[in-house]
Chains A and B, each alone.
Chain A
Amino acid sequence: MKPGPFRYLAPASLQDAAAMLRAHADAKVLAGGQSLIPVLSMRLARPTHLVDLGGIPGLDRIEVTDAYVRVGAMVRHAQLLADEGAYAALPLLRQALVNVAHPAIRNRGTTVGSIAHADAAGEMPSVLAITDGVVEAVGPDGRREIAARDFFAGPLETTLAHDEIVEAVRFGRFPTGTRTAFRESARRHGDYALAGVAVAVTVENDRITAARASFVSVTDVPGVVDLSSVLAGADPATADWSVVDETVDAHLQPESDIHASAQYRRMLAAELTRRALAEAVAQPSTASAPGAHR
């Protein structure tokens, strides 16, 4: 259970890091390492070079604007979890982050790293998806932006080129009147979820105008399912949340494994969605959150 030999590279800038990736076809990016290092120790991957982003200045910033919360590549989960500005702007970030592993992992793992890792069991890829987030990538030939829906290509697979690095991600903010919730079920809190869901419900004048959900561990990639057509016009106080069941079920692609059957995951995802929707509408809307960022 030890990683094999590799060359350790510590670039001083993202441009240098991208050039190193281009020069070495079997190089991997190291950020928090909480997914990569176990993979190396189990020898599931044998990169020739590790390009450590840890020494590059300026990657640990969180920026909140009217439109988004921007999270740099070296922002640790724990840092984003504790950030009051980010929470006020987008409560879903904290609602989801408390489910990411355990404190010792959150202290080192990065939010951007978990998105670039694109594990279908990861919480933060589905949060990026449901917020219509954007990935800011840097390569040797310059920068480009990739919408979340174009970023996730499959389990552990993204559309990032080998020599591109995610410099930051932008989680989009929801319209006024939107309430969110995140629910997941794991054998032990902090473990990989059997199923999980993020929901966002927009309420105007006591009527639901829009609703959407994205999932953890029950879809190959974190896509977004629009629930507006089945929930629009409903009174959030009396809504029958089971009207979303069919739409949700059609969206899921769960697999059976040692932990749970596909059928059980379907049942779990539907129940979690109903509970999350009820929990969301009971929340204060983001616009009236205490200390809301403007």
Chain B
Amino acid sequence: MTDLNAADLLTDELHDVTVTVNGAVHTARVPARRLLSDFLRHDLRLTGTHVGCEHGVCGACTVLVDGRPMRSCLMFAIQAQRHEITTVEGLGDSPERMNHVQRAFTECHGLQCGFCTPGFITTITAFLEDNPDPTEGEAREAVSGNLCRCTGYQNIVKSVLRAAELKRSEAEPPAAETAQSEESESR
């Protein structure tokens, strides 16, 4: 006979949860226990965010919350209500509209099975905002919270460095401006 605790008698109470995802406002009626990762995938059908370990270790579900990477499996959707969420779809949702990190991954063979990739893309996109010109060591440290079970880390680190190059070249103004003013802009 198993012990019954008070929580076993609870049924779900539903909340109207409104979250801004990739610039669009979405509302769904969900229980408080709905993880943000499941809210994105099941309720909003944004299946670009992948769910791996569901306890914060693998990093596959990483999304940007107000521009900063966080684990969507370690947040409840109800906690995301006052914040802007960006998923991998919001960074580039088709082969024609890929951001610099996604293009670097295709160029450098930065993905194999692709399961972990959305978490890497979001993590690296935010990292390059803070550090536009990382060393290889910094690139490695930046992805240390994300697991790739294909163990494709060498090419993922290459992709971080290539994405930084692509981002810097995007930021370069078409006309001749001094390198100094460009540098101060990107910081």
Contact = CB atoms under 8 A, between A and B. Distances in A.
Same complex origin of A and B: yes
Contacts of B181: none
A5 B75 contact: no
What is the predominant secondary structure among interface residues of chain B facing chain A? mixed
B69 interface: yes
Given A26-B7, A48-B6, A108-B70, A5 B76 contact: no
Contact of B31 (A5, A47, A189): A5
Given A26-B5, A189-B144, A37 B69 contact: no
Interface residues of B, number: 36
B68 interface: yes
A7 B15 CA distance: 10
A34 B70 CA distance: 10
B170 interface: no
A8 B15 CA distance: 9
Interface stretch (B55-63, B94-102, B155-163): B55-63
A3 B55 contact: no
Q: Which bucket holds chain A's interface residue count? A: 20 to 34
Interface stretch (B32-40, B85-93, B110-118): B32-40
Contacts of B73: 37, 41
A177 to B, nearest CB: 32
A63 B28 CA distance: 39
Contacts of A108: 65, 70-71, 74-75
B141 interface: yes
A292 interface: no
Contacts of A78: 68
Contacts of A3: 33, 35
A105 B56 contact: yes
B142 interface: yes
B10 A54 contact: no
A189 B145 CA distance: 9
Contacts of B7: 4-6, 26, 46-48
A54 B79 CA distance: 8
A8 to B, nearest CB: 3
Contacts of A294: none
A101 interface: yes
A64 to B, nearest CB: 24
A140 interface: no
A141 to B, nearest CB: 24
Interface string A170-193: 000000000000000000111000
Contacts of B32: 6-8, 50
A292 B145 CA distance: 32
A109 B69 CA distance: 12
Contacts of B5: 26, 46
Nearest to A42: B55
Interface string A97-115: 0000111110110000000
Contact of A38 (B56, B59, B76, B79): B56
B52 to A, nearest CB: 10
Contact of A104 (B11, B54, B59): B59
B185 interface: no
A12 B50 CA distance: 34
B59 to A, nearest CB: 7
A235 interface: no
A1 B55 contact: yes
A107 B83 CA distance: 14
B12 interface: yes
Interface in B1-57: 5-8, 10-13, 15, 31-33, 35, 38, 54-56
Interface of B: 5-8, 10-13, 15, 31-33, 35, 38, 54-56, 59, 62, 65, 68-71, 73-76, 78-79, 123, 127, 141-142, 144-145
12 contacts: A1-B54, A2-B35, A2-B54, A4-B8, A5-B11, A5-B31, A8-B13, A33-B74, A33-B76, A33-B79, A46-B5, A105-B71
